[in-house]
């Protein structure tokens, strides 16, 4: 009886974990395996039984796919611009609202966090109306100032930057919150010691706060890269990848291949390409974090 009771006690935790494990296997591991299978097939969406194994042909096709490279270029531009501007702007705001003289830091952080918790679809629709040529708020203001209206979402050179601005606005509050948590966790002893040594505000930031905030910067950078590669709904609502594919990111191109052109196998291969790129950034993150721990 004791042996049965002992075995029962050991199995009980796993029985509680079993429903979650089943969900993970069904909705995570099986789709991943199925995606890997699709990427080496020429999948026939009408008659799946007639699908043909093609090996790495789908991956080889990527080298000559100009629209894939165009989407990767747009993704890189979107990622670098939104991340660099967003990180710098959010850091500056976080440094200001975390100062002792700023009395409304909690209210400011809550107010700035609102765009992040809003539906991305709703945010995209609101900004699309703001940038609308005929009756948008932006062009209405420009007309009042005697300036010509701007067709921002219809310009091949400006559309991507318009989406970048909206993405920065959406994520700014989240970044400020993370920066603020890091700034407020810095011991006041460091600041007081620096002030005793005659350091000014700028030197405090440059030589004390910024070095101690490196792990936060690494975290936000890698998370920002992953989120940028997965940005779909904002682009879908605002530009649908246009004009002339100037805002088509790699995840949007994947969606087009899968659900517009019904090339399921090639889209699965693109998904694995995105996975490989993100894995590289994740490994970089781990390496940088380890370097910070050593230092």
Question: What three-state secondary structure class fits 42?
Answer: strand
Distance CA 136, CA 243 (A): 19
Instruction: Tell me how far CA of residue 16 lies from CA of 3, 19, 22, 89, in angstroms.
Output: 21, 7, 11, 45
Q: What is the pLDDT of residues 2-56, one digit of tens each?
A: 555 655 667 777 788 888 889 988 888 999 899 999 999 998 888 888 888 898 9
Q: What is the pLDDT of residues 228-241, one digit of tens each?
A: 998 899 999 999 89
What residue ranges define each of the domains in the chain, with the CATH number in brackets? 61-294 (1.10.3720.10)
For residue 291, pLDDT over 70 is answered with: no
In the chain, the percentage of residues whose pLDDT exceeds 90 is 39
Cα dihedral sign, 141-142-146-151: negative
Q: 66 is written with which tokens?
A: 């100009």
Strand pairing partners for 53? 41
The pLDDT value given to residue 45 = 83
Q: What is the pLDDT of residues 265-287, one digit of tens each?
A: 999 999 999 999 988 888 887 78
Helix (H) or strand (E) holding 234: helix 233-238
Instruction: Judge contact between 110 and 177, C-beta under 8 A.
Output: no
Alpha helices for 40-158 (secondary structure H): 57-61, 66-97, 105-117, 120-130, 137-144
Q: Where is pLDDT greater, at 192 or 148?
A: 148
Q: What is the pLDDT of residues 74-124, one digit of tens each?
A: 999 999 999 999 999 999 999 999 888 888 888 888 888 999 998 888 999
């Amino acid at each position: 009886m004791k042996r049965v009771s002992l075995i029962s006690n050991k199995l009980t935790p796993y029985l509680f974990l079993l429903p979650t494990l089943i969900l993970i296997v069904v909705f995570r591991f099986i789709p991943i395996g199925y995606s890997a299978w699709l990427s080496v097939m020429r999948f026939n969406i009408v008659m799946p039984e007639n699908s043909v194994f093609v090996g790495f042909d789908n991956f080889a096709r990527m080298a000559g796919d100009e629209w894939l490279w165009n989407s990767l270029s747009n993704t890189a531009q979107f990622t670098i611009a939104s991340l660099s501007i967003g990180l710098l702007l959010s850091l500056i705001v976080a440094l200001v609202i975390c100062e002792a003289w700023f009395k409304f830091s909690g209210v400011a952080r809550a107010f700035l966090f609102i765009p992040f918790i809003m539906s991305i679809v709703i945010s995209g629709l609101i900004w699309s109306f703001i940038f609308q040529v005929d009756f948008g708020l932006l062009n209405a203001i420009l007309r009042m100032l005697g300036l010509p209206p701007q067709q921002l979402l219809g310009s091949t050179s400006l559309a991507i930057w318009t989406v970048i601005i909206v993405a920065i606005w959406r994520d700014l509050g989240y970044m400020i919150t993370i920066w603020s948590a890091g700034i407020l966790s810095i011991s006041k002893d460091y600041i007081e010691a620096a002030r005793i040594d005659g350091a000014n505000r700028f030197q405090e930031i440059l030589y004390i706060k910024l070095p101690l905030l490196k792990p936060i910067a690494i975290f936000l950078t890698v998370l920002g890269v992953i989120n940028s590669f997965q940005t779909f709904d904002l682009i879908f609502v605002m530009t649908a990848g246009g004009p002339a594919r100037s805002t088509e990111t790699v995840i949007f191109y994947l969606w087009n291949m899968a659900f517009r052109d019904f090339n399921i196998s090639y889209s699965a291969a693109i998904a694995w390409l995105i996975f490989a790129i993100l894995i590289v950034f994740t490994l970089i993150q781990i390496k940088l974090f380890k370097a910070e721990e050593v230092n």
